[in-house]
Structure 1
Amino acid sequence: MSSPVSTITTTIHRRHVPPCSNISTFPTLNPNLNYTTRRPFSILSSTRLVDFKPCCSKKPELPELLDSENGNVVLEEEDDIDIGWLPAFPHVLVASMSNFLFGFHIGVMNGPIISIARELGFEGNSILEGLVVSIFIAGAFLGSSGAGYLVDRLGFKRTLQVDTIPLILGAVLCAQAHSLDQLLLGRFFVGLGIGANAVLVPIYISEVAPTKYRGSLGSLCSIGICTGIIASLSLGIFSESDPHWWRTMLYIASVTGFVLAFGMQFAVESPRWLCKAGKLNDAKQIISNLWGPSKVEKSIEEFQSVLKNDGGDLDSRWSELLEEPHSRVALIGGTLFVLQQFAGINAVLYFSSLTFKEAGITNGALASLCVGLTNFAGAFGALYLVDRQGRQKLIIGSYVGMAISMFLVVYAISFPIDEELRNNLSILGTILYILTYACGAGPVTGVIIPELSSSRTRGKIMSFSFSVHWEVRLQLLRKPKEIYDLERKKTHLMIEFCALEMEKDKKSKLRFVEVQKELCDVRDKLEPLMIKYKKEKEKQEEALVVLQEADVARTANVKLGVVQGVGPAMHENMMLMQTLGPVTRPTLRSCDQKGLIMLAKRLQERVVGQDEAVNVVADAMLRSRAVFGRANKPAGLLFFVGPSGVGKTEIARALSEQLFADEKFMIKINMCLYTEEESVPCYVGQLTETMLDDGCSVDFTHTVLIMTSNIGENHLLRALSENTSMEDARLEVMEEVRRHFKQDLLNRFDAIVVFNPLSYDLLRKVARLALKDIAIRLAGKGVTLQVMEAALHVIVPESYDLVYGAEPIKIWLENNLVTRLSNMLITNEIVENSTVYVDADSNGKDLSYRVVREGGNKSDKMVSDLKNAAKKLKIKGDWSWG
């Protein structure tokens, strides 16, 4: 009996081993041969040998070993360990660090964007927040467009090192940014480097990796991006406690850029590019080291054959992409990247946190980490599948899997099923969608394009494909975050609405009513945002056109030697720079018509109880803006008479705000100062001479002049206190005005308006307006103010003064309510995203304050005009805003 055989023999290709009588040792390995080990196909039992008849015994490549005792033919076993990828792996790993930086920079901006916006002063402005993202994509578009040009001249190794310069510089600029401009410049530089590397790394991997492992090693690009995102999300946890942590993360990104540049110094150059450059010896040495000596001659022969067919020129032209077969490959590459974006993977990744939240996972960081790990697992699976299943099968299977998973999500949100089952199906569909995308559509797209491209135009085709990728992504991300969220929610509700419309059961009908109400709410929120977004977009486009036209005109003048004269436009621009106020002629335009017609109503919202004065002012402005007023006369010349604190000055402020969007464009002159004994003589009349007639000395033709006086106020106050006829009091006031002022002066006024004193009920409205102003200021801190009706019964009586009108109310609120709220903010009793309830105390003589957290505004909302935030103020009772 022979002893049990316990060794596993190894197949050695291309070498015939003669029969031997003893198999106790392995044959000697030839270092010049290519060794491959595969899965065993013969079994050696501990008691006996299982007989196999060799089906290819005549081939010398399969050596036969004879068992000396039984004479059985033993086919050698093959093991599953395959290390042919190992020589190229370090070089591929270093290059894929650029993909790590890509994912890391995405996570750095998406996580602490609120902290960045708050520190750099654009918090709440979603247009600027979107610009921070889009400027990165614009840089990536330019970087990907120029990558092919650089690599044709410098090679992959040097080009990847050069591309680390904008990566490092951009990261440092962002980390040290103290203004939005500096941040945008840094983001643009980072985009340049990322865009170029996104093109070059897949090509570099495909040309360095052995053919058998090209797909698997190419999947390291997706793994690098996933790892970068996970790393940034993990590091971003510290930003919750340190608002400046984002700067540290960007410094980490710059250090990683240095590591990439240093690592590429030891990486090999692409052997294909070396052949194109005529460096055959270097190419042979690299092929021998990475692919094995047996592959050298065949590979060099293949490269030279391709170069000969392509023309041997080192550089290619963009026009060649219009010729066959390059145009077909470019079309395939662009189409794959367009499908990748329109498949909605970015939207699924973005809304995955909402899906997890509805299922009970409220921790946003945990949900993002779960999505990141799923994406990483899919990319790691592609590492194994891409070379075993083939590119075509994998990419088709990926899109089929994405379609099935999306059907699960749609089914879960559209049909009346159990809530727990709905949540589970939503999460399952989301995870399956991300997993199938990461297994195929994500990594295979970057692998298949270099393989289909010829060596000559490979860089240009990849540049074109990635340029399409960045352009589509830029167009998809142009809308502000709030509009994007609402549009996605609207689509979600529309799908559910259509599905529930056909259902007849009671539960579905109740849900149908809820969805209908939610859909109306979303439309109401979306409509003003879309109007605002379109207006801002039109303004930006109009400004860009004006700048372009100005540049063209200036260039033409410079070339033709035209000396520009000083005209009205230059005067207006200079005055605008010096005074920060509008100096152009106010004429009626189509976009202003609705505002002028609604001017009286808008003024009445701010000025309480003075409808006559409001209508007079609105009519004067309507005549002026229509260029239908009297020539050589001011746009409006008004005389307001009435007690203090009834709105005489307030109506001037409101008019300035409506016309010029700011109260600071109103000039107020207190004429009492000129009547004092210590005032300089002859000041009265120096600037005002004849301005009421022809406007000779000073042009006041585009000015609204409002003069105010409290003459005769005693008649009005007596009528209010004694409850007598207000009309008789107004006549007495006009008689006193005529006695005090000369008739020549009074004849020059367009109207003399007598302001009514404010009653107790009107002062309650004034108190509400003052509270609205306080709510605006609190909204800037992310806090909602809610004032109960009972609080007004404390505020108005405490501050009521018949003689001084509205002013005592504002002073009382500043000294009491605002001071108390300020103290609560300083002591952190009030924090962001909280609501302050103001009510009367138990005895009804003082105010009480109650704070509810996690129920107010968020300071990162898009409220570029903070006055919209006043809608958050609610007064419970017979009056409310909201």
Structure 2
Amino acid sequence: MASGLRDVTAYLLVLLVIATLGPLQFGFHLAELNAPEDVITCRAKAALSTLAKAVSYIKGDASSASSAVPIDCIEMTRSDFAAISAIFTVGGLFGALTAGPFTSSRGRRRAMQVTAAFFLLGSIVETFAASVTVMIIGRLLTGVGAGASTVIVPLYISEVAPPSRRGFFGAFTQISINVGILLTQTLGYFLSHDGAWRWILGSGIIISIAQALGLFIIPESPAWTASTKGDMVRARRVLQRIRGNHANLDEEVEAWGEGNGKVLSEEESLLAGGGTASSDAIGTPLSPQLSQRTERATLGFSQVLRDSHTRPAIIAVVGIMFAQQLCGINSIIMYSVSLLKDLVSTNSALLTIIISVINLGTTIAASPLPDKLGRKTCLLASIIGQGTSSLVLALSIQFELKILSALAVLFFVAFFATGLGPVPFILASELVGPEAVGATQSWALGANYVATFLVAYLFPIVNDALNNALGGAGWVYFIFAGFALVFAGFIARNVPETRGKKDADEVWGRTRRVD
């Protein structure tokens, strides 16, 4: 630990701040429509027009009543807004699945520059959009950048961070996503009125420009430069600057091989399916046992499902990713302001900021738990906690217990951060051997974005339909509670504990394969 602390230089921190602007924008764009939803969709138009007329009549100028307050919005239905919200995840899926091959061939820095371009173009389109179609195009573009960032940035961080501190710095990706969510919710609290909502979206332009400029001063990953480009001298010089003048680089440099791409290409092949490799595996010499296993051909997307050894892991990973979304977290992250505005006595936008702060704080505080308590324990505790919170939220809404509704939402988010938030992405690389990590990550990313799309698109529609059919509000959270019960049983039955296990064979309790 002391050695790791000595390796944390100011230059490394600068690199991390610039790199994590990508995941920050993921969180920013994920939640950017939450607070200003009513203004953007013109639902606040009638209220503003009524206020304008009242002010004009008081002034004795009835002829200008309809134009007393300028209203900038985009007429759309509930389904239109759901489509605008959900298309972000479609772009995310495309970006995540194409980022792996691109960053392997063109480098991490160039790949991050491309994501910055998508963020910039998408933010510009969103900011000046005057129709549903144009807004969808903007959200699709920012989604591509966001999805690609979830692949590229963790890989870059794992390759520039000190080996002994990779687990710690690996958490920066999730933390920066939560910072982005908090930022956009805070802006939404102050700017969700009249035409000011465009400044919320326009802030994405500023962040993407900052990212693009910052990427000009950060170096390419030394590991990629050595193993793919073959430039060992340049790679070592860059790594020395990152680690500090007095750091011993021999062990890390040895992992690069002879600069012909042989060692790292085996690990980079894990990205061919669009996922990220385990942060502990990247840039670390392979053990003799793992070296034997990597001699097997890398398993493809369909092969891991047909292989009897990897199929249980795919089932487990897909189930966990669906659990992460179908337990309802994005109903809060993306729709909490409109959902809570009639349910709580406090300002719903202010409550959303508090939710984001709790999400960020709990994510940081709970980051050591998977290593201390175990992955499966954290998952089950998280799901049971979220399911209980969903049930309490549904009942408190039915009985109009506003304080209890607010507390249920806060606990709902806190329980998510203790397990369902970080653990699924850890397990995706621990349940299989190195030859199957890339394809498994592809299944994980695909399942995650499909499930996110379902919640983003269907939640507002199903919520309105249930409330209209049954009367009252909050019925959809009974469904989320039911999903939590189902997925708790699924995880208890199908997901093994990986903490302290040296490889996938030990995780699944089977004899080591020798092919």
Report the TM range for the smaller structure's normalisation: 0.5 to 0.7
Report the counterpart of residue 170 of structure 1 in structure 2: 122
Counterpart pick for 1:444 among 423, 427, 432: 423
Q: Please identify the structure whose Cα radius of gyration is greater.
A: 1
**Closer/same/farther in 2, CA of residues 270 and 181 from structure 1, 3 Å limit:** same
Q: Alignment RMSD, CA only? A: 3.9
Distance 1:174 1:351 in 2: 21
Residue-by-residue CA offset, 1:459-518 (whole Å, 9 max, x unaligned): 55434322221112222333473542342684856999xxxxxxxxxxxxxxxxxxxxxx
Report the counterpart of residue 446 of structure 2 in structure 1: 467
Mapped contact 1:310–1:456 kept (Cα < 8 A): yes
Distance 2:118 2:476 in 1: 45
Q: Does 1:335 align with 2:319?
A: yes
Report the counterpart of residue 371 of structure 1 in structure 2: 355
- Higher strand share goes to which structure? 1
Distance 1:326 1:494 in 2: 35
Counterpart pick for 2:23 among 99, 108, 115: 99
Aligned partner letter, 1:165: A
Mapped contact 2:331–2:456 kept (Cα < 8 A): no
Counterpart pick for 1:478 among 452, 457, 460: 457
Mapped contact 2:73–2:195 kept (Cα < 8 A): no
| Secondary structure in structure 1 of the residue aligned to 2:124 | helix
Q: 1:98 Cα deviation (Å)?
A: 1.3
Report the counterpart of residue 494 of structure 2 in structure 1: none
**Closer/same/farther in 2, CA of residues 426 and 480 from structure 1, 3 Å limit:** closer
Distance 1:354 1:180 in 2: 22
Counterpart pick for 2:210 among 259, 270, 282: 259
Mapped contact 2:30–2:88 kept (Cα < 8 A): no
Aligned partner letter, 1:432: F
Q: Does 1:382 align with 2:338?
A: no
Report the counterpart of residue 428 of structure 1 in structure 2: 407
Residue-by-residue CA offset, 1:520-579 (whole Å, 9 max, x unaligned): xxxxxxxxxxxxxxxxxxxxxxxxxxxxxxxxxxxxxxxxxxxxxxxxxxxxxxxxxxxx
Distance 2:458 2:375 in 1: 35
Aligned partner letter, 2:119: L
Report the counterpart of residue 185 of structure 2 in structure 1: 233
Q: 1:170 Cα deviation (Å)?
A: 1.1
Q: Does 1:199 align with 2:178?
A: no
| Secondary structure in structure 2 of the residue aligned to 1:441 | coil
Q: 1:192 Cα deviation (Å)?
A: 1.3
Report the counterpart of residue 247 of structure 1 in structure 2: 198
| Secondary structure in structure 2 of the residue aligned to 1:189 | helix
The alignment of Structure 1 onto Structure 2 pairs a total of residues equal to 411
Q: 1:391 Cα deviation (Å)?
A: 4.0
Report the counterpart of residue 385 of structure 2 in structure 1: 401
Q: 1:340 Cα deviation (Å)?
A: 0.2
Q: 1:341 Cα deviation (Å)?
A: 0.6
Mapped contact 2:330–2:452 kept (Cα < 8 A): no
- Higher helix share goes to which structure? 2
Matches within 5 A, 1:10-159: 35-36=2-3, 82=5, 84-85=7-8, 88-118=12-42, 122-159=74-111
Distance 2:165 2:131 in 1: 47
Distance 2:120 2:386 in 1: 37
TM-score computed with the length of structure 2 as normaliser = 0.67
Q: 1:246 Cα deviation (Å)?
A: 2.9
| Secondary structure in structure 2 of the residue aligned to 1:111 | coil
| Secondary structure in structure 1 of the residue aligned to 2:345 | coil
**Closer/same/farther in 2, CA of residues 191 and 266 from structure 1, 3 Å limit:** same
Matches within 5 A, 1:494-505: none
Distance 2:78 2:293 in 1: 53
Distance 1:494 1:275 in 2: 52
**Closer/same/farther in 2, CA of residues 448 and 295 from structure 1, 3 Å limit:** farther
Mapped contact 1:395–1:440 kept (Cα < 8 A): yes
Aligned partner letter, 1:337: M
Mapped contact 1:353–1:368 kept (Cα < 8 A): no
Mapped contact 1:216–1:386 kept (Cα < 8 A): no
**Closer/same/farther in 2, CA of residues 267 and 166 from structure 1, 3 Å limit:** same
| Secondary structure in structure 2 of the residue aligned to 1:478 | helix
Counterpart pick for 1:346 among 309, 320, 330: 330
Q: 1:375 Cα deviation (Å)?
A: 0.9
Mapped contact 1:97–1:260 kept (Cα < 8 A): yes
Distance 2:108 2:18 in 1: 13
Mapped contact 1:284–1:300 kept (Cα < 8 A): no
**Closer/same/farther in 2, CA of residues 250 and 407 from structure 1, 3 Å limit:** closer
Residue-by-residue CA offset, 1:639-693 (whole Å, 9 max, x unaligned): xxxxxxxxxxxxxxxxxxxxxxxxxxxxxxxxxxxxxxxxxxxxxxxxxxxxxxx
**Closer/same/farther in 2, CA of residues 117 and 398 from structure 1, 3 Å limit:** closer
Answer with 295-304 or 435-444: which moved more: 295-304
Mapped contact 1:94–1:263 kept (Cα < 8 A): yes
Report the counterpart of residue 251 of structure 2 in structure 1: 295
Report the counterpart of residue 360 of structure 1 in structure 2: 345
Mapped contact 1:307–1:456 kept (Cα < 8 A): no
Distance 1:145 1:493 in 2: 35
Q: 1:100 Cα deviation (Å)?
A: 1.3
Mapped contact 1:284–1:296 kept (Cα < 8 A): no
Mapped contact 1:329–1:453 kept (Cα < 8 A): yes
**Closer/same/farther in 2, CA of residues 427 and 249 from structure 1, 3 Å limit:** closer
Distance 1:115 1:153 in 2: 44
Distance 1:155 1:329 in 2: 30
Distance 2:445 2:195 in 1: 33
Distance 1:468 1:152 in 2: 23
| Secondary structure in structure 2 of the residue aligned to 1:109 | coil
Q: 1:155 Cα deviation (Å)?
A: 2.5
Distance 1:188 1:230 in 2: 22
Aligned partner letter, 2:120: I
Distance 1:150 1:212 in 2: 28
Q: 1:435 Cα deviation (Å)?
A: 0.9
What 5-or-longer segments of structure 2 have no aligned partner? 43-70, 258-283, 479-515
Report the counterpart of residue 861 of structure 1 in structure 2: none
Mapped contact 1:170–1:187 kept (Cα < 8 A): yes
Q: 1:434 Cα deviation (Å)?
A: 1.0
Distance 1:285 1:454 in 2: 33
Report the counterpart of residue 50 of structure 2 in structure 1: none
**Closer/same/farther in 2, CA of residues 213 and 487 from structure 1, 3 Å limit:** farther
Distance 1:258 1:152 in 2: 24
Report the counterpart of residue 169 of structure 2 in structure 1: 217
TM-score computed with the length of structure 1 as normaliser = 0.41
Mapped contact 1:449–1:462 kept (Cα < 8 A): yes
**Closer/same/farther in 2, CA of residues 450 and 319 from structure 1, 3 Å limit:** same
| Secondary structure in structure 2 of the residue aligned to 1:477 | helix
Distance 1:204 1:332 in 2: 27
Residue-by-residue CA offset, 1:168-207 (whole Å, 9 max, x unaligned): 1111122222333322222221111112112332333344
Q: 1:217 Cα deviation (Å)?
A: 2.1
Aligned partner letter, 2:130: H
**Closer/same/farther in 2, CA of residues 117 and 400 from structure 1, 3 Å limit:** closer
| Secondary structure in structure 1 of the residue aligned to 2:419 | helix
Mapped contact 1:99–1:224 kept (Cα < 8 A): yes
Distance 2:340 2:199 in 1: 31
Q: 1:304 Cα deviation (Å)?
A: 6.4
Higher normalized contact order (CA 8 Å, seq sep 6+, divided by chain length) = 2
What 5-or-longer segments of structure 1 have no aligned partner? 1-33, 38-81, 497-882
